[in-house]
Amino acid sequence: MAEIINPILRGFNPDPSIIRVGDDYFIATSTFEWFPGVQIHHSRDLINWRLVNRPLKRLSQLNMKGNLDSGGIWAPCLTYHEGIFYLVYTDVKHSGGIWKDTPNYLVMTDDIYGDWSDPIYLNSSGFDPSLFHDEDGRKWLVNLVYDHRKGKNTFGGILLQEYSPEEKRLVGPIKNIFRGTELGFTEGPHLYKKDGYYYLLTAEGGTWYDHAVTIARSRNIDGPYEVHPDNPLLTSKGDPSLALQRAGHADLVETQDGEWYMVHLCSRPLAGRQRSILGRETAIQKIEWREGWPYLVEGGNKPAVKVPAPALPEQKWEERPARDDFDGEDLALDFQTLRIPLGEDLLSLKERPGYLRLKGAETLSSKHRQSLVARRQEHHCYTATTCLEFEPESFQQMAGLVAYYNTEIWYYLKVSWNEDKGKSLGILSCNRNDFDEPLAEEISLEGRERIYLRVKVDYENLQFYYSTDGEEWKKVGPVLDASILSDEYATYDKKFGFTGAFVGICCQDLTGRRKAADFDFFEYIGRE
């Protein structure tokens, strides 16, 4: 029997929302501060998945300039009804102190691979919005209500309100239909209807190592809801031996043949350490219904790595090339930028065909305008390589290869300039805003037009390299701690990390003159 091997979406792909349209399955996942917003993957067999679109690609849909680290797109919900795809999402503008600013929006399309509409504003009462299309044609929005008041449960329950397609707004009364279980932190709601019951699936326990999936049901959409007799439906809590940790935040889908599956987030921390450099990933479990309730077919409530595949013909996709020579008119789908799109004033594939030209912008600590292009780390071990042509004239101009978590945690192999060595190669690191230069003495690159840069990550070990010919490589600096590029490590001092490690290329010009750096290619080769 064919098997699905978890996780099905590797690397930073949390908060999965799944739908089936005919023979096609689609999953939407959170992207936080990375632009374009929301990843959509496609499959025909639930085994093999391919990235096909990021729908929030215009500033009119999503402008995250100034958003905090791990703000932006939280928990999108993808649904389909009568030929139209619906996507609701939160753009978190602030999260800290007692407040969260969480405007929720809706975009639509009849072509999931194409362009999506400009957003319709819904509400700001909390995050994790989800749209439900009832059998009678009415549409309902559910979302967490966030309660900032002292002494209150900040995760104050799940609100229900009707959405009017004609008026393009929420209408009618607002009702709190479910205040959660003793697990707490009730969020991530999704509604379904089956055999006369409304089912409300929620995430509980917080998105760390006590995360869980809870399900409740009611004969009426507005409740009251009774909780599953063997709650939680899924959790990794209390079992550090499991390969898939932090299991929670789920969504259900029915196959063409009446089989049921549940996608959920998970993480795979480094052995013996609670640090997940790949971030929160997406896994899947098979479900069966017994006495009106869903259960894992394997029994119990622990996530399995190997899951029975549905009775569908396998559909494999062509693998994405490891190397991008920047020969196309657009960036490859693997790449994203931070918070906003980069226009020709900062990024060009046209000015020098065959090269990606980045024009120097703000620092790696900036939450506004960075000239940075990066891709997810999808393997615990990988090698990333690029070739750079750059002629800095000031110590304030630099370009190179970056292993990045957020504005406060990164490693940077940079080409810059100084008074003693002229054009030179060095390392700059940022560890919770503590800056260091791990290379004792910078390496002179005077007279070298092209320089090849490489980073190798082997679980928690990160090593930089350089070459002048692309053949012979020399180590640069010491072995660095890759485990700090994790959401657990980024969660400190009332700050939270919800993303995963990225690797990419960047250019800064703190003089404001936008000195350009030309990158000939970028290659990522992963291995487990």
Q: Under CATH, to which class is 10-225 assigned?
A: mainly beta
Query: What's the fold here for domain 323-527?
Result: Jelly Rolls (2.60.120)
Half-sphere exposure of 290 (CA within 13 A, CB side): 10
Place of tokens 């993480």: 267
Q: Which of 33, 45, 69, 187 is catalytic?
A: 187
pLDDT at 321: 93
Query: In the chain, pLDDT over 90 holds for what percent of residues?
Result: 97
Q: 187-194 and 197-204: which strand pairing?
A: antiparallel
Give the integer Cα–Cα distance in Å for 140 and 131.
6
Count of CB atoms situated within 10 Å of the CB of 185: 21
Largest CA distance in the chain: 77
pLDDT at residue 1 greater than cutoff 80: no
**Range 499-507 average pLDDT:** 98
pLDDT class of 96 with cuts at 50, 70, 90:
confident
Start-end ranges of CATH 2.60.120.200 in the chain? 323-527
**Per-residue pLDDT tens over the stretch 320-368:** 999 999 999 999 999 999 999 999 999 999 999 999 999 999 999 999 9
**Per-residue pLDDT tens over the stretch 34-70:** 999 999 999 999 999 999 999 999 999 999 999 999 9
* Element (DSSP H or E) covering residue 490: helix 487-490
How many helices and strands, by DSSP H and E, does the chain display?
1, 42
pLDDT at residue 375 greater than cutoff 80: yes
Q: Is 458 among the residues known to form the active site?
A: no
Start-end ranges of CATH 2.115.10.20 in the chain? 10-225
Give the integer Cα–Cα distance in Å for 365 and 356.
22
Place of tokens 């003793």: 182
The 8-class DSSP code of residue 37 comes to: B
Count of CB atoms situated within 10 Å of the CB of 258: 9
pLDDT at 359: 98
16 closest CA partner among 333, 301, 252: 252
Q: Mean pLDDT across the chain, nearest whole number?
A: 97
**Range 80-89 average pLDDT:** 98
**Range 460-466 average pLDDT:** 98
Count of CB atoms situated within 10 Å of the CB of 460: 20
Phi first, then psi: what are they for 487, rounded to 5°? Answer: -70, -30
**Range 509-527 average pLDDT:** 97
Q: Is 45 among the residues known to form the active site?
A: no
**Range 384-389 average pLDDT:** 98
Give the integer Cα–Cα distance in Å for 108 and 106.
7
Half-sphere exposure of 116 (CA within 13 A, CB side): 28
